[in-house]
Structure 1
Amino acid sequence: MKTTKTADMPAQARKGPVRMLDVARAAGVASVTVSRVINHPETVAQATRELVQATIRRLGYVPDLTAGSLASTRSRIVGAIVPTLSNAWFADTMDGLAAALAPQGYQLMLAQSSYHPRAEAGLVDAFLGRRVDAIVLTGVSHEKSVRDKLRRLGLPVVETWDLTDDPIDMAVGFFNAGVGAAVAQYLRERGHRRIGFIGADELRARKRLDGLQAQLAELGMAPAEVELLPPPSTIDAGAQAFTRLLERAPQIQAVFCSNDILGVGALLACRQRGWQVPGRVAVVGFSDLAMAAASYPTLTTVQVQPRELGRQAGEVLLRRLQGLARPGKRAQRVIDIGFRLVPRESA
């Protein structure tokens, strides 16, 4: 009986990183040709170059930027990608993550995607090329190539700031749609019937909007009036968005803002017009930043504990890296840290 050696198996049939040799065999060229296409593409004939590049994309090959190191040696580095470094809640998450990893000798390598899925995909490749031991992503929506590649590699991955029943590997967060539903119920119980929404035009904020709209429909209420604006959020942008929303729909009695920065902007716009909050309009934020309790009036918001989120993400990664948790068990793969509505003066 013939035994098939691992080295002779197709790249798609093996578990682990695709090698340069796999690309060369699949393209029908020498390994040195693949190397030239990667490092000096101008030295390779166009037809050959395009064939090799297409094979690289098809197989998901990532060049090893640490060539020469032993394959068995861990880098002790965890790569993390956030949409932006300008918002405090992502900074707090990374702080909690780093605090969990550091005592075990792991360092955090941080990058921002600027809310672009394609940029995130490039950063994932950059981290893989540097042979990070694990990756932390923000959100659960990614390009298919990213999901397929990370699953094939079997690298420990934690998705944060959202939840799904089908994570790449593990997920630590909360259900954003549930946040929107809870805010709709809260405002309805306080007598508000016409609701507005101001949010950053990004996936997790849209999920909060979806939850809000679904719950309003369930309660027999009119759909929320919506004002979306490009991220990242600023107080001025929140004030301007609030003004546009109320000019278009002056009947609005309460506004849910997808984060506290926009919520404080809405409060600023109210003060500038001499409007009473919540007398003229109630305002609810999200994330419970320090500014929420310090604003005037204090901002009702939804608390999600970003530092604790980061800490728990770090702990589940460490359990996987130390072999104490196995992939496939949902109790170990999906951790819901929940959220809490914090009533204050604004609503």
Structure 2
Amino acid sequence: MAKPKEKAATTTSKRARGGVRDIRITDVAALAQVSPITVSRALNNPEVVAPETLRRVQQMVQQLGYVPNRLAGSLSSSKSRLIAAIVPTIAHSLFSTSIQAFSDAMSRAGYQVLLGLSGYGEADELRVLDAALSRRPEGVLLVGVARTAPLRARLLSLQLPTVETWDDTDLQVDMLVGFSHYDVGVAVAQHFVERGRKRPAIVSAKDARARARHDGFVHAMARHGITDVAAASVTPPSSVALGREKLAEILDSRRDIDCVFCGSDLLALGVLGEARDHGIRVPDDLSVCGFGDLEFAAEMWPALTSVRVDGKRIGTAAAECLIARLKGARVESNVDVGFSIVARDTA
């Protein structure tokens, strides 16, 4: 009989040293003075719970340290409450603004966002997506569109609510919230031409969205009879240093350029610095336009002309589309958020 007593004593000792009792949903319900189903709704569909009840449940969850068993829930209901978001980078504040707005909206609806960083390699997107799919998400968000056949085929085969963002395409997988990068390039070219600029240059990244802006810019210039466009490309992500480096390369062979379209505001900042070091006056000798309209664009001197895209609206609209689809509602499949050129001192 001695051995069983020793075993019991060991078990008691472990509990005394801090073993945590399994907190159940019924414990939360009892303290919050609601039913277990109300606790479940508060955790999974907070928008359907009365505000005071929701506050009480959340308070008890925090007080008890209750952690829902999402795995058990997914096994019984086939619902993971997860959304997979595949993003090239969060270093770009435009993308981070979108993802924050998207995550906030999904959280309010009772979903959690699983973030996967794919970089700018198209093959990596499929690898990251496959890793996210192992968690059985209920929906997918892409920053960008599925340009490769394997990625499109994988997304189509999933039959999951999917929203592509920050771009446009004629081959969308499901829902699309974005704008035309090609049209951005066209609009910037028109902006320069209207200001009498005839010797353009472009400094942009090599990813698909930047290439679309490049093509729109070059084609629009050609329609105005301007076919000699100096171009320099960078490997993403963009930086101030790369902007300096690429303008220096262009000036080595084309000192006569009178406008530069930059694929990001960071590149534009570098271009402005390099132009200053070469004694080039902005905007008298050289007009400069960026992309993104980051916070510093309006505060610097000279203030930077840039293309503004509402990243927060993209994230919110993407979440609204997914939430509606997950509830079984019909959803507008293509939302064009547009863009605008914010004209300031540099152009």
TM-score (norm 2): 0.77
* Correspondent of 2:268 among 244, 257, 263: 263
1:72-151 counterparts in 2 under 5 A?
A: 72-151=77-156
Identical counterparts, % of pairs: 39
- Which of 200, 203, 224 is the matching residue for 2:208? 203
Q: Which amino acid aligns with 1:341?
A: I
Q: Does 1:289 align with 2:297?
A: no
Partners of 1:340 and 1:69 in 2: how far apart?
43
Structure 1 segment 187-202 matched on structure 2, within 5 A: 187-202=192-207
Range with greater deviation from structure 2 (180-189 or 159-168)? 159-168
Three-state SS of the structure 2 residue aligned to 1:285 is strand
Change in 2 beyond 3 A, CA 1:69/1:206: same
CA contact (8 A) 1:81 1:113 kept: yes
In 2, Cα distance between the equivalents of 1:125 and 1:85?
A: 20
Q: Deviations over 1:15-60 (max 9, x none)?
A: xxxxxxxxxxxxxxxxxxxxxxxxxxxxxxxxxxxxxxxxxxxxxx
Q: Give the SS at the match of 2:261.
A: strand
CA distance in 1, matches of 2:315, 2:228: 34
Native 8 Å contact 1:165 1:334 kept in 2: no
- Counterpart Cα distance in 2 of 1:93 and 1:68: 29
How big is the alpha-carbon RMSD for the aligned residues of Structure 1 and Structure 2? 1.6
Q: How far did residue 67 of structure 1 move?
A: 10
User: Does the CA-based 8 Å contact 1:197-1:227 persist in structure 2?
Assistant: yes
- 1:226 maps to 231
Aligned partner of 1:116: which letter?
G
Deviation for aligned residue 1:180: 0.1
For the 8 Å contact 1:267–1:296, the answer to whether it is kept is no
The answer (yes or no) to whether the contact 2:83–2:114 under 8 Å persists in 1 is: yes
In structure 1, runs of 5+ residues without a counterpart are 1-65, 327-331
Measured after TM superposition, the shift of residue 324 of structure 1 is: 1.2
Larger Rg: 2
Please tell me whether residue 340 in structure 1 is matched to residue 345 in structure 2.
no
Deviation at 1:72, TM superposition (A): 3.2
State whether residues 194 and 222 of structure 1, in contact with CA within 8 Å, keep that contact through their aligned partners in structure 2. no
Aligned residues: 277
* 2:174 alignment partner, one of 169, 177, 194: 169
Q: Which of the residues 261, 284, 299 maps onto 2:304?
A: 299
Does the 8 Å contact 2:116/2:129 carry over to 1?
no
Deviation per CA, 1:137-170: give whole Å up to 9, x if none: 1222433122112112210111111011220111
Corresponding residue SS for 1:70: helix
2:158 pairs, out of 129, 153, 158, with 153
Q: Deviations over 1:197-242 (max 9, x none)?
A: 0001111000000101111111111242110010111111111111
2:317 and 2:228 map into 1 onto residues whose CA distance is 36
> Which secondary structure does the structure 1 equivalent of 2:231 belong to?
strand
Asked if the contact 2:283/2:345 (under 8 Å) is kept, the reply is yes
